[in-house]
Amino acid sequence: GGDDLVIGVSTSVRDTGLLDELVDEFKRQRPDQAATVKPVAAGSGQLIELALRGEVDILIIHLPGAEAKLIADGDGIDRRELMHNFFALVGPPDDPARAQSTLTMAEALKRIAATEKTFISRGDNSGTHLREMALWRQAGIDPVGESWYQESGAGQGQSLLVASDKGAYTLVDSGTFVVFQERLELELYVSDEEPNQYSIIRVNPDKHGVNEAAALAFAEFLTSPAGQRIIAGFGLEKYGEPLFVPAGPGSDSEPAATPER
């Protein structure tokens, strides 16, 4: 494989700015790697494609189903959980579907469907989109094709802007919502019960010509207390709350904890 370390990163991680901080710190710690680190942000589906072709060395991704398949097929190895936040249902301030008073996501979605209030779906096979589909299934509704169900096919932030402009509901990860909140006329009504889990997967060096050593080093760094501490603190200063919850304790040299499922 090449000497570069190509890191495939989900766009939401890049968009928040967390990626830059992590990479900067990694470069500081490993000056030998500094010149070769190439973090590349892309849609989750695109990341999986790249991994399958051995075009990236390591992934930071939140796409549970595809992650499992990647590992099952032997293209990915060494999955480690990195951090998480939550999905949330957001909608217009007057809450025409009265989602506020529901307890679960599925229930809220049922109300939206019942009242036929506009719902913006990202429709891009991203983690958020996949989770949204799962929630619709839970609610027992197939919204695709309904006039109130619109697929924006855009990034997370863009979808929020669309929803805000149209006075629509949408599903969003809590981190992105925090970042965009002040531009939006949207309020958070229901939080998802399941976390939005980001994990690290290395591409299998036995199957693809990848930069194993560097990828391992980066994975180690991310799960190290130093890496975890950055995650824990990220966003505090700017938004008053952290955007992600690190998977590990974020202190000392303990290995990252395996989260309860």
Partner 1 sequence: MELIWDGIREAFRLIFTGNAEVYEIAFLSLAVSGAATGIALIIGLSIASFLAFRAPPGRTLALSLLNSGMALPPVVVGLVVAVMLWRTGPLGQLHLLYTPAAIVIAQAVIATPVVTALSVVALQTLHPKLRLQVLALGASRWQAAWLLFREARLPLIAAAMAGFGAAISEVGASMMVGGNIKGSTRTLTTSTVLEVSRGNLEAAMALAFILLVLVYAVMLTLTIVQQRRRAS
Residues that bind partner 1 (CB under 8 A): 1-4, 6, 11, 14-17, 20, 23-24, 37-49, 53-55, 123-126, 150-159, 161-162, 165-166, 179-180, 183, 185, 209
**Complex with partner 1: residue 110 or 208, whichever CB lies closer:** 208
Q: Single out the residue of 59, 74, 79, 85 nearest to residue 258, CA to CA.
A: 79
**Complex with partner 1: residue 113 or 163, whichever CB lies closer:** 163
**Least separation in angstroms between CB 256 and partner 1:** 25
Q: Single out the residue of 19, 122, 115 nearest to residue 63, CA to CA.
A: 122
CA-to-CA separations, 120 to 109, 190, 250, in angstroms, rounded = 12, 16, 36
**Least separation in angstroms between CB 258 and partner 1:** 28
**Least separation in angstroms between CB 4 and partner 1:** 7
**Complex with partner 1: residue 83 or 256, whichever CB lies closer:** 83
Instruction: Report d(CA 261, CA 232) in Å as an integer.
Output: 21
**Least separation in angstroms between CB 261 and partner 1:** 26
**Complex with partner 1: residue 93 or 253, whichever CB lies closer:** 93
CA-to-CA separations, 197 to 34, 50, 65, in angstroms, rounded = 28, 20, 11
**Complex with partner 1: residue 39 or 250, whichever CB lies closer:** 39
**Least separation in angstroms between CB 246 and partner 1:** 21
Query: Amino acid identity of 242?
Result: P
Helical (H) or strand (E) element with 198:
strand 187-203
Instruction: Report d(CA 170, CA 180) in Å as an integer.
Output: 14
**Least separation in angstroms between CB 153 and partner 1:** 4
**Complex with partner 1: residue 53 or 137, whichever CB lies closer:** 53
CB atoms within 10 A of CB 195: 18
**Complex with partner 1: residue 5 or 219, whichever CB lies closer:** 5
User: Who contacts 43 (Cβ-Cβ below 8 Å, separation ≥6)?
Assistant: 10, 11, 124, 125, 126
**Least separation in angstroms between CB 48 and partner 1:** 5
User: Who contacts 64 (Cβ-Cβ below 8 Å, separation ≥6)?
Assistant: 127, 130, 197
